[in-house]
Amino acid sequence: MRSRAGSDTLLLKSARVSVAVVFFIHGVLVSNWLARIPAVQAELRLASGVLGLALLGASGGAFAAIVGIPRLLVRFGSARVTTWSSFGLCAVLALPALARSAAPLAAALVLYGALAGAMDVAMNTQAVDVERAYRRPVMVAFHALFSLGGMTGAAMGGLAAARGLAPLPHLVAVGALLAVATRLATRRLLPDDPEALAKAPQFSLAAIRPLVPLGVIAFCILLGEGAMADWGAVYLTGYTSQGAAATGYAVFSLTMAAGRLAGDWLRLRIGSVNLVRLGGAIAAAGLGAGLAVGGVAATLLGFACAGAGFSTIFPITLSAAGHKVASQTGVAAVTGIGYLAFLAGPPAIGLLADAVTLRVALGLTVILSAIAALLAGSVRDADA
């Protein structure tokens, strides 16, 4: 009996490490591509507007995958789909760099986006299952590994660009290296429960109705993240140079990574509800004060508060969704709503900025952070 318990514990610990590595791999893959977008634009001599339309291919592919992935997860399980989508993303990472015009680039990005979106939902579903089996918080730490992977990939891409390495050989090398890492990491993913896979999937409105408050939180937080990513540096250029303004998103990213590293420890001590409430309040108060005062120092402090405040909210929301309903349905539904906000938010901020000012438009993020704090009670299932 003791031997069986020890074996189960070892299996669970191995699965936890494997999921953490998969999150890191996802962050490295995506950020390497993002870092080479300017080089691909220069090679193809694309105007910014044309590039923007081509990049919508990745968004469309990701959203389509998120909508369709629950059925694959129910049929094959999160371990298999995580493995397949990770290998697939490694295989197509360099595909956009092969394009010689905007149309093939958009087509390649549809495939890239679909695999990235599928991997996102599958690995988060696997993460929810590992956390449920662990019976203690581990979800936020997985997202910390994604953030660290993103920083690592951005550094790799920046170094490749600085040394004049073309996007194609760079991305081929990264894809091949991380395919090997995927092979090693996914061997120890948590096996799926055969009984759960045998159950008919629940995709009715009644099945996802309990997820509505969680979807609102995801919408609020990922719209805020998108606003910080796309508009933070633009806002800071009103106070400083373009080079210095780029530190705004760096500060936001660093405090988000730090918050995620401490997130599960904080969940154990104050609970998920209190942590989401506190995070939303810190983001709203800090960013609101920074925007109201203005200037470089106050704005950077506001961005730091936003990163720290946002850091744990989306991972906890996914955890709550996976505990409230079947993990495949819950994670996919909440992730889909979050993606929609992340994609639609920045253009909405831009239109609002044209109508008023960018400072007022970014104030929308303050309001949404406060809404997330008010809805914190809906994440109670994350501690189940």
Percent of the chain with pLDDT over 70: 93
pLDDT score of 1: 43
Cα–Cα dist 357/349, whole Å: 10
219 or 238: which leads in pLDDT = 219
Q: Is 271 a residue whose pLDDT tops 60? A: yes
Q: Is 363 a residue whose pLDDT tops 90? A: yes
**pLDDT single digits (tens) 132-142:** 888 889 999 99
Cα–Cα dist 137/131, whole Å: 6
Q: Is 129 a residue whose pLDDT tops 70? A: yes
- For the ranges 6-15, 62-71, 186-195, 201-210, the maximum mean pLDDT occurs at 62-71
Q: Is 197 a residue whose pLDDT tops 60? A: no
Query: Which domains are delineated in the chain?
Result: 2-189 (1.20.1250.20), 205-383 (1.20.1250.20)
56 or 269: which leads in pLDDT = 269
In the chain, the amino acid numbered 205 is: L
**pLDDT single digits (tens) 229-255:** 878 878 888 887 766 666 788 889 899
Cα–Cα dist 324/208, whole Å: 9
- The conformation of residue 192, written as its DSSP 8-state character, comes to P
Cα–Cα dist 124/316, whole Å: 11
Give the pLDDT mean for 67-81.
88
Cα–Cα dist 85/65, whole Å: 11
pLDDT score of 5: 52
Cα–Cα dist 121/125, whole Å: 6
Q: Is 10 a residue whose pLDDT tops 50? A: yes
Q: Is 207 a residue whose pLDDT tops 80? A: no
Taking every pair of Cα atoms in the chain, the longest distance, rounded to a whole number of angstroms, is 68
Closest listed residue to residue 376, CA positions, set 192, 185, 221: 221
Confidence of residue 337 (pLDDT cuts 50, 70, 90): confident
Q: Lowest-pLDDT range, 54-63, 89-98, 160-169?
A: 54-63
Q: Is 196 a residue whose pLDDT tops 70? A: no
Cα–Cα dist 222/345, whole Å: 8
pLDDT score of 283: 97
Confidence of residue 28 (pLDDT cuts 50, 70, 90): very high
pLDDT score of 202: 56
Cα–Cα dist 258/218, whole Å: 20
Q: How far is CA 219 from the centre of its chain?
A: 13
Q: How far is CA 320 from the centre of its chain?
A: 16
Question: Phi and psi of 190, rounded to 5°?
Answer: -70, 125
Token match 């946002």: residue?
310
pLDDT score of 199: 55
Give the pLDDT mean for 85-114.
96
pLDDT score of 123: 95
pLDDT score of 7: 60
pLDDT score of 235: 86
Q: Is 289 a residue whose pLDDT tops 60? A: yes
Report residue 206 as tokens. Answer: 């009644």
Cα–Cα dist 84/79, whole Å: 9
Cα–Cα dist 271/377, whole Å: 11
Q: Is 4 a residue whose pLDDT tops 60? A: no
Q: Annotate 285-321 with DSSP letters as a single string.
A: HHHHHHHHH-SHHHHHHHHHHHHHHHTTHHHHHHHHH
Q: How many residues does the chain have?
A: 384
Write down the pTM of the prediction.
Answer: 0.88
Residues 6+ apart with CB under 8 A from 167: 36, 39, 40, 43, 94, 97
Q: Is 2 a residue whose pLDDT tops 50? A: no
pLDDT score of 35: 86
Cα–Cα dist 89/31, whole Å: 12
Contact predicate 85/115, CB 8 Å = yes
- The conformation of residue 251, written as its DSSP 8-state character, comes to H
> Average pLDDT of the chain?
88
- Cα separations (Å) of 27 from 153, 295, 311, 342? 7, 32, 15, 16
Give the pLDDT mean for 291-316.
94
Residues 6+ apart with CB under 8 A from 193: none
Cα–Cα dist 368/68, whole Å: 28
Q: Is 193 a residue whose pLDDT tops 70? A: no
Contact predicate 143/4, CB 8 Å = no
Give the pLDDT mean for 287-295.
93
Give the pLDDT mean for 144-172.
92
239 or 29: which leads in pLDDT = 29
